[in-house]
């Protein structure tokens, strides 16, 4: 529509049209932009408008949800426990436990201990209540001997089992190598039974707070399987989200082809974005309101431009990150959000054992609901054998 509020400074005609507004964020003022229909000259209005000009707020339009095939889901839940035993047995067949000769009492069968520890976590029972279930597994041939409940809990405090459970997380994620290409990163906490106490000099009183352990994990957004994991304390060196992002990405890249990585604003940094780009992926991390595009590398600049110019397309990719919250919810609802062990080493083993149980349950669900045709008994893991000295 032709406007007649001003004239063209070049040809003097009044045949001009509006072409948006030019906003000055420092002065919080704006000028009207015009274009002449006669000579095509573009110019700004000299007068500054003191009223605040705000563009229309962006509203993300969420995508629809995928319907659930409840028949297949029901089948996966009905057969979960029996298949869980078979898959744990298949995974442990990939390990070779070498007993180190020492003086004193003989070492308990390590394979049976790992099996029994996972059954305790899966059933979410105490060590005493788990004993009767382990007797049934002995009759079925899954374990050779049932350890006493104190022996079972004592081995949670064994440093060697941290490596065992981490390897089991990797092995249980391998069948998803052809299924997953988009991933998400986040962290969550598991409360422990211990309390931390310190004296607050500001208020002159002793403060008490329950300690918790942090689980940093990368998951596949389609199946919610955990592809890499790190367990840290609640505070201290290398406990923050930022310092654990790159190790999680690099670990996942060993077994998976990464196309996209989504993370929340707490992971925003040039180093994290470059780490994803180097392995052939695209990082989808939202920018802060004061983020600038200059001087931070090409990846930062390109993603910042995409974030500002195509917010709907960006957030459609970014909101795959919601699946990591779903994975943590599934993990805690099924295997508990608190830790029964007390020491730092045993806390790590308990959290890692929860992750192993979660991955095995996702294998079962993916077989029924996602068409996963690879199992741990096929050639996926036949060439892999992990040697553990205990």
Structure tokens given for 164: 């065992």
Instruction: Give pLDDT, residue 360.
Output: 95
Q: Which residue has the tokens 């969420």?
A: 62
Quote the pTM value: 0.80
d(C-alpha 24, C-alpha 30), whole Å: 6
SS3 359: helix
Asked whether the beta carbons of 256 and 170 are under 8 A apart, the reply is: no
Q: What pLDDT shows up at residue 52?
A: 53
User: What stretch(es) of the chain map to CATH 3.30.420?
Assistant: 179-325
Strands (E), 260-330: 260-262, 282-284
Pairing mode of beta strands 260-262, 29-36: unpaired
Residue 207 CB coordination number (10 Å): 10
Task: Give strand pairing partners of 211.
Answer: none
* Cα gap 227→354, rounded to integer Å: 14
Q: How far apart are the first and last CA of the chain?
A: 82
Question: Which residue shows structure tokens 């440093």?
Answer: 159
pLDDT score of 104:
63
Contacts of 49 by beta carbon, 8 Å cutoff, 6+ apart: 29, 30, 31, 32
- What six digits make up the tokens of 262? 């989504």
355, 183, 181: which is closest to 263 by C-alpha?
183
- CA distances from residue 173 to 91, 221, 254, 331 in whole angstroms, order as listed: 11, 13, 12, 15
Residue range 179-325 in CATH 3.30.420: yes
Residue 139, phi then psi, degrees to nearest 5:
-65, -30
pLDDT for 1: 41
Q: What pLDDT score was predicted for residue 287? A: 92
3-class SS of residue 289: coil
Q: Per residue of the chain (390 residues), what is the pLDDT tens digit? A: 444 457 888 888 888 888 877 777 665 677 788 888 888 888 888 766 655 555 567 777 777 777 888 999 999 999 999 999 999 998 998 888 887 766 766 667 889 999 999 999 999 999 999 999 999 999 999 999 999 999 999 999 999 999 999 999 999 999 999 899 999 999 999 988 766 655 566 667 766 677 889 999 999 999 999 999 999 998 888 888 999 999 999 999 999 999 999 999 999 999 999 999 999 999 999 998 888 876 677 889 889 888 888 888 999 999 999 999 999 999 999 999 999 898 999 999 999 999 999 999 999 999 998 888 755 544 555 556 777 776
């Amino acid at each position: 529509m032709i406007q007649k509020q001003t004239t063209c400074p070049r040809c003097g005609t009044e045949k001009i049209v509006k072409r948006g507004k030019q906003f000055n964020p420092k002065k919080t003022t704006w000028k009207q932009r015009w274009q002449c229909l006669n000579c095509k000259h573009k110019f700004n209005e000299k007068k500054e408008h003191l009223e605040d000009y705000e563009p229309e707020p962006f509203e993300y339009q969420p995508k629809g949800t995928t319907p659930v095939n409840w028949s297949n889901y029901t089948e996966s839940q009905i057969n979960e426990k029996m298949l869980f035993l078979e898959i744990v047995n298949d995974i442990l067949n990939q390990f070779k436990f070498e007993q180190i000769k020492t003086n004193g009492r003989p070492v308990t069968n390590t394979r049976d201990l790992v099996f029994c520890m996972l059954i305790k976590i899966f059933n979410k029972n105490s060590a005493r209540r788990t004993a009767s279930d382990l007797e049934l597994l002995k009759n079925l041939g899954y374990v050779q001997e049932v350890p006493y409940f104190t022996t079972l809990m004592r081995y949670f405090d064994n440093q060697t089992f941290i490596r065992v459970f981490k390897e089991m997380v990797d092995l249980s994620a391998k069948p998803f190598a052809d299924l997953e290409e988009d991933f998400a990163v986040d962290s969550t906490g598991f409360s422990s039974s211990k309390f931390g106490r310190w004296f607050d000099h500001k208020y002159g009183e002793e403060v008490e707070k329950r300690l918790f352990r942090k689980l940093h994990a990368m998951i596949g957004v389609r199946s919610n399987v955990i592809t890499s994991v790190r367990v840290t304390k609640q505070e201290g060196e290398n406990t923050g989200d930022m310092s654990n992002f790159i190790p999680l990405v690099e670990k996942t890249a060993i077994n998976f082809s990464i196309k996209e990585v989504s993370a929340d604003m707490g992971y925003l940094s040039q180093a994290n974005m470059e780490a994803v780009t180097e392995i052939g992926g695209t990082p989808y991390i939202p920018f802060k309101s004061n983020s600038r595009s200059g001087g931070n590398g090409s990846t930062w600049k390109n993603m910042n431009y995409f974030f500002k110019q195509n917010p709907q397309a960006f957030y459609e990719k970014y909101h795959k990150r919601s699946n990591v919250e779903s994975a943590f919810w599934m993990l805690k609802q099924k295997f508990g959000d608190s830790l029964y062990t007390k020491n730092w080493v045993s806390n790590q083993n308990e959290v890692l054992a929860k992750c192993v149980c979660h991955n095995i349950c996702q294998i079962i669900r993916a077989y029924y609901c996602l068409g996963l045709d690879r199992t741990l008994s096929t050639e996926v893991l036949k060439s892999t054998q992990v040697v553990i000295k205990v």
